[in-house]
Amino acid sequence: MTNFFSRIFDSTKRAFPKAGKTTWWLLKIIIPISLLVSILQYTGIINLMANYLTPLFSVIGLPGESAIVFISSLFLSLYAPIAIMATLQLEMREITILALMCLITHNMFVETAIQQKTGSSYMIMFLLRVVMSFVGAALLNWLLPTDLGKSVVNETAVVYTNAGEMLLHWMKGAGGLALKITLIITGLMILQNILRDFKILDFLSASFAPLMKIFGLSERSSFMWFVAQILGLTYGAAVMIEEVDNNEISREEANLLNYHIAINHSMLEDTLLFVAIGVPALWIMTPRIVLAFLVVWLVRYIYQVKSRKSAKNITHNLPI
């Protein structure tokens, strides 16, 4: 028993330096972005940006004003676009399409930076999520029934009387977010160390291995996939970065995983946020799973074609 608690203590102690480093790295990205978005909203620049996207959104069955929801999702977590949706007069069919788009593209600047740190191209991941959000929206616009009902939420948009009020609101939100991120990441790092020390990670990897094979991913990526599905990319960042840094998974395997979780992550919490406002779960879960599956296998095929070409070129250039 003494040995058990000693191992728990050691796992906990080793987690703090890494958790602090990752938390500081995340906050350096998140806090400035949240301030920038508050300023853009206050000055009306986001509304102006949304106006230019109106023609594009009409093609996928959405009214022009819904573009502001999409733009907000690029910068922020899902709570912001959901709050904005509540202020618009949208049908449930339109909310469902928007929900799918936001589930793929939310918090892009932060999450794409995380994916870059685990071995992927920032630009490729960013463009992939934007393109797949519109592909998914077009698919839903084609498949969804005409009448899914009306929104179950209706709120009034927050209007600031002056810049000081806006900044005060931002500081309160940023402080709470910083505390939340610090606590969650520290807890995750402790949990990861304990799971690894007691060989539970090996069990989890083996349990999810068949599913990874179906998705076209390596068995070693199963724990990172699990973390991304339960906690998302932001809160799972510490675990994912350490797995790559410690060579528990190669950068090539992590890159392939990133193609999947760029489109399909946080299936639990994020999905439930929209289910809580009446969005049918299957309509926002199934397209993400299918699109992620197709993208990974397409990328694998492209890799194989390139590999064959490289091998062929090497053989062709060998001296006879």
Beta-ladder partners of 150: 91
CB distance 84 to 72 below 8 Å: yes
pLDDT on residue 175: 85
Q: How far apart are CA 291 and CA 135, in angstroms?
A: 9
pLDDT on residue 75: 87
pLDDT at 9 over 90: no
Please, how many CA atoms are within 13 Å of residue 290, restricted to the half-sphere of its CB?
Answer: 12
CB distance 282 to 255 below 8 Å: no
Mean pLDDT value of segment 64-90: 83
Q: How far apart are CA 233 and CA 52, in angstroms?
A: 29
Using one digit for the tens of pLDDT, what is the confidence trace for 193-247?
Answer: 787 777 776 777 778 888 999 999 998 888 888 888 877 887 777 777 888 888 8
pLDDT at 69 over 70: yes
Candidate from 111-115, 220-224, 291-295 with smallest mean pLDDT: 220-224
pLDDT on residue 38: 80
pLDDT at 259 over 90: yes
Mean pLDDT value of segment 179-185: 80
Candidate from 115-119, 244-248, 278-282, 298-302 with smallest mean pLDDT: 244-248
Please report the beta strands in the chain, taking only residues with DSSP state E, as ranges in sequence order.
none
pLDDT on residue 3: 78
| Domain map (residue ranges) of the chain | 9-304
Please indicate, yes or no, whether the overall pTM of this predicted structure exceeds 0.85. no
- Residue 260 CB partners (closer than 8 Å, separation 6+): 215, 216, 217, 225, 292, 293, 295, 296
pLDDT at 57 over 70: yes
Percent of the chain with pLDDT over 90: 27
Angle at which helix 122-143 crosses helix 92-105, to 10 degrees, equals 160
